[in-house]
Amino acid sequence: MANEQVNLPSLLVILVLTGLVVRYFFFSSSGSPPAAQQAGRAGRRDAASVMAAREAAVVRLQQLFPQVDRRTLLWDLQRTGGNIAATADRIATRRIETPPITFQPPPPPGGQATGGSTEQTHGKPEDKPAQPDLITRYRLQGKLAEGAGSGSETESRGSSPGGGKTKAWSSNRDERQSLLQRRRDEMILEARRKMEAKIAAEKAAAES
Amino acid sequence: MAQSTAHRRLLQEYRITAGPVTEDDLLHWEALIQGPEGTPFEGGVFPAELKFPRDYPLAPPTMKFLGEVFHPNVYPNGLVCISILHPPGDDPNHYEHASERWSPIQSVEKILISVMSMLAEPNDESPANVEAAKMWRERRGEYEKRVRDGVRRMLGL
């Protein structure tokens, strides 16, 4: 009997304490959502911000090392805990490892399919429609008119006595550039002349 | 240091058919590739850009055709997919031998030669352009006609 009298108050104390603890955890701040839910949301936000940080790190690293693909970078960042410097160091010293096949990072936020890293670093999505032909591209219309008719004309336009092609290298920067440009233009114009001749021949063959 | 090594090496290689767009940026080149004879690409000239990493020649450049090139190993956006442009030790599928891939003893010239032989003989194993690969495999005539038409368009004819 004496035992019960001692136990009843302590039981009450325990009950009250439990009530307080429950209240503290579940109804602590009235008006705000329950704490458990809040914690879950925070965790998700953390994961999202970590992913965003990782993506930013990948972009920065790919500027430095365009040859390393995104998956490898994410794998290494995961191992270094998102430390860009450490990962960069490992790439530079060729200690970076290929990720296991099981490591499949989420697709990049840009929505681009996971292709080669280079595709992403190029970043130019489908510039197809804006592709002019070579004549327009290198503004060769003028030269095209000049060279029309006689094929040898454009080739003899090389300024140096040996002709443009024999002089392959110059110590002068601008001269180098113009030499290269001329070689390029000649190559295109010659290809076009040949193709024109071929088309003409085909037409003639078809007509006869 | 890495920068200057890259510069020295690229200046050496500049003598070949390709060259930098401007010498202010030696890491960005433009090359013209002639279509190999005896292939539907014959007679064509294809511009491509080469982008070199700062640690070239340790790492390979990337190459991208600037015009339309309909080929099984060229992505629809023009990016070229051949083994010589892949860094060594980076092939999880083991399609390629290490010797086929990039190493510092390769060069721009070798890349251009490889690309020309790729134009002549597509590698069917890992197509970059699935449509082209399928057409090349199943309807060769149609593929060749499409390539030839592309070549003429490129020359403005």
Q: B103 Cβ partners below 8 Å, 6+ apart?
A: B88
Which of A101 and B19 is assigned the larger pLDDT? B19
Kindly state the tokens that stand for A56: 């930013």
Q: Name the residue in chain A with its Cα closest to that of B22.
A: A177
Percent of the residues in chain A that have a pLDDT greater than 70, as a whole number: 64
- The confidence score (pLDDT) of residue A165 equals 43
Q: What is the least distance, in Å, from the CA of B110 to any CA of chain A?
A: 19
Report chain B residues whose CB lies below 8 A from the CB of A183. 17
- The pLDDT confidence band at residue A8, using thresholds 50, 70 and 90, is confident
Per-residue pLDDT tens digits for B50-75: 999 998 888 999 999 988 899 999 99
- The confidence score (pLDDT) of residue A98 equals 79
Least confident of A155-169, B15-29, B116-130: A155-169
Here the ipTM equals: 0.75
Statement: residue A35 has pLDDT above 80: no
Q: 10 Å Cβ neighbour count for B64? A: 21
- The confidence score (pLDDT) of residue A154 equals 39
- The pLDDT confidence band at residue A5, using thresholds 50, 70 and 90, is low
Say if the Cβ atoms of A66 and B62 lie within 8 Å.
Answer: yes
- The confidence score (pLDDT) of residue A121 equals 38
Query: Contact, B84 vs B100, CB < 8 A?
Result: yes
Kindly state the tokens that stand for A96: 């970076």
This model's pTM is above 0.80: no
Say if the Cβ atoms of A194 and B43 lie within 8 Å.
Answer: yes
Q: What is the least distance, in Å, from the CA of A82 to any CA of chain B?
A: 22
A173 close contact with B: CB closer than 8 A: yes
Which of B17 and B63 is assigned the larger pLDDT? B63
Q: Is the dihedral of CA A193, A195, A201, A204 positive or negative?
A: negative
Report chain A residues whose CB lies below 8 A from the CB of B23. 173, 176-177
Report chain A residues whose CB lies below 8 A from the CB of B156. 133-136, 192
- The pLDDT confidence band at residue B34, using thresholds 50, 70 and 90, is confident
Residues 41-80 of chain A whose Cβ lies under 8 A from any Cβ of chain B: 64-69
Question: Alpha helix (H) ranges present in A28-68?
Answer: 35-64
How far is residue B141's CA from residue B157's CA, in Å, rounded to a whole number?
A: 21
List phi, psi (to 5°) of B65. -70, 140
Active-site residues of B: which are they?
A: 81
How far is residue A45's CA from residue A59's CA, in Å, rounded to a whole number?
A: 21
- The pLDDT confidence band at residue A52, using thresholds 50, 70 and 90, is confident
Report chain B residues whose CB lies below 8 A from the CB of A65. 53, 55, 59
- The pLDDT confidence band at residue A125, using thresholds 50, 70 and 90, is very low
How far is residue A21's CA from residue A7's CA, in Å, rounded to a whole number?
A: 21
How far is residue A63's CA from residue A59's CA, in Å, rounded to a whole number?
A: 6
Per-residue pLDDT tens digits for A143-196: 777 655 444 443 444 333 434 444 556 777 888 888 888 888 888 888 888 888
- The confidence score (pLDDT) of residue B50 equals 93
